[in-house]
């Protein structure tokens, strides 16, 4: 149990929460290789910033992620248009495993499990000839640890500004209300204010993005630099790192510190099917692997 939560908290983006620590944990495969960035990169658009949903092609996407200590995460995304309106749905879950229960006297009791489920619905539209896209996601996050349950209602509005030179984005992530929690201590939502800028280079087929996230109910802030390189119309490589690497650096080899907080992934497109394989390493020596499959319709 201690080992599991050691690994989990070391890779989680959110700090200082118990009931809702999984709310910002990566459940989409592309987040792994982009080190949590990619709010505007739209090679297949997971509408992390709901404003980008308006530009997304219709698709169904499935992601599966393997964290250390047998923690797993899965997500399913679907989106489509109706007249001038764009809608999306996202369902994700995190499974922390099954644990052997013990009393305070170390006597074995009934086993128990722990996990999170997140359900979100998104809406997006545009204005000023598609130069400004805006959207909002709303949903419910449910967390369970043994017999204890926690629940919160979330709202995440976002907007993007499209220019000839770059794209700007701004969003409020996971603004909401806690309706139930594990303990008696009142917990705050791990809400982030996120600003993003992306630019497609003209000399090489590379799109780079910079994101900065600020925890509204705390003092934590971090930045992510990510990008995607297009080899041809069917093959892409993507990578990302963040300022979290300075918190993950430990007294280990130089090579291990260099590769801490580094994500990398490969994307291959076969007609209307996209397959991406992703990995992420962090300073405690753990590796995260993920695979995603998208089908356009």
CA 208 and chain centroid, separation: 18
DSSP state of 102: B
pLDDT at 209 over 90: yes
pLDDT band at 235 (very low <50, low <70, confident <90, very high): very high
> 179-204 pLDDT, tens per residue?
888 777 777 888 999 999 999 998 99
At 3, list the tokens: 């080992």
pLDDT band at 3 (very low <50, low <70, confident <90, very high): very low
Q: Classify 104 as helix, strand or coil.
A: coil
Has this prediction a pTM greater than 0.75?
A: yes
> 85-100 pLDDT, tens per residue?
999 999 999 999 887 7
pLDDT at 19 over 90: no
At 167, list the tokens: 């794209």
At 55, list the tokens: 């530009």
Three-state SS for 102-154 is ECCCCCECCCEEEEEEEEEEEEEEEECCCCEEEEEEEEEEEEEECCEEEEEEE
pLDDT at 131 over 80: yes
pLDDT at 239 over 70: yes
Tell me the CATH number of domain 2-296, given options 1.10.472.10, 2.40.160.60, 3.90.226.10, 2.40.50.140: 2.40.160.60
pLDDT at 7 over 50: no
pLDDT of residue 106: 76
pLDDT band at 171 (very low <50, low <70, confident <90, very high): very high
pLDDT of residue 6: 39
Cα→Cα distances 188→7, 8, 138, 141, 215, Å? 23, 20, 18, 14, 11
pLDDT band at 282 (very low <50, low <70, confident <90, very high): confident
Spatial separation of the C-alpha atoms in residues 205 and 237, rounded to whole Å: 11
| Domain spans of the chain, in order of start | 2-296
Spatial separation of the C-alpha atoms in residues 269 and 266, rounded to whole Å: 10
């Amino acid at each position: 149990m201690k080992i599991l939560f050691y690994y989990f908290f070391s890779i989680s983006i959110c700090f200082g929460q118990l009931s809702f620590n999984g709310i910002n944990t990566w459940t989409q495969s592309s987040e792994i290789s982009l080190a949590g960035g990619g709010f505007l990169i739209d090679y297949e658009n997971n509408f992390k910033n709901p404003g980008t949903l308006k530009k997304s092609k219709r698709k169904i996407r499935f992601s599966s992620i393997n964290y250390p200590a047998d923690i797993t995460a899965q997500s399913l995304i679907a989106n489509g248009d109706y007249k001038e309106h764009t809608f999306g749905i996202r369902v994700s879950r995190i499974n922390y495993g099954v644990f052997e229960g013990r009393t305070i006297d170390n006597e074995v009791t009934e086993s128990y499990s722990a996990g999170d489920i997140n359900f979100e619905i998104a809406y997006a539209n545009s204005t000023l000839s598609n130069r400004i896209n805006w959207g909002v996601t709303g949903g419910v996050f449910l967390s369970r640890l043994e017999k204890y349950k926690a629940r919160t209602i979330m709202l995440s509005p976002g907007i993007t500004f499209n220019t000839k030179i770059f794209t700007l984005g701004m969003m409020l992530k996971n603004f909401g209300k806690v309706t139930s929690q594990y303990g008696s201590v009142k917990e705050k939502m791990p809400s982030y204010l996120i600003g993003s800028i992306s630019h497609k280079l003209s000399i090489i087929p590379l799109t780079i993005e910079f994101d900065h996230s600020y925890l509204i109910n705390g003092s934590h802030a971090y930045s992510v630099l990510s990008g995607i390189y297009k080899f041809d119309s069917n093959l892409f490589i993507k990578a990302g790192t963040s300022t979290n690497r300075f918190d993950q650096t430990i007294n280990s080899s130089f090579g291990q510190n260099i590769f801490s907080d580094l994500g990398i992934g490969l994307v291959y497109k076969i007609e209307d099917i996209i397959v991406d394989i992703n990995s992420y390493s962090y300073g405690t020596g753990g590796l995260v692997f993920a695979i995603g499959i998208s089908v356009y319709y």
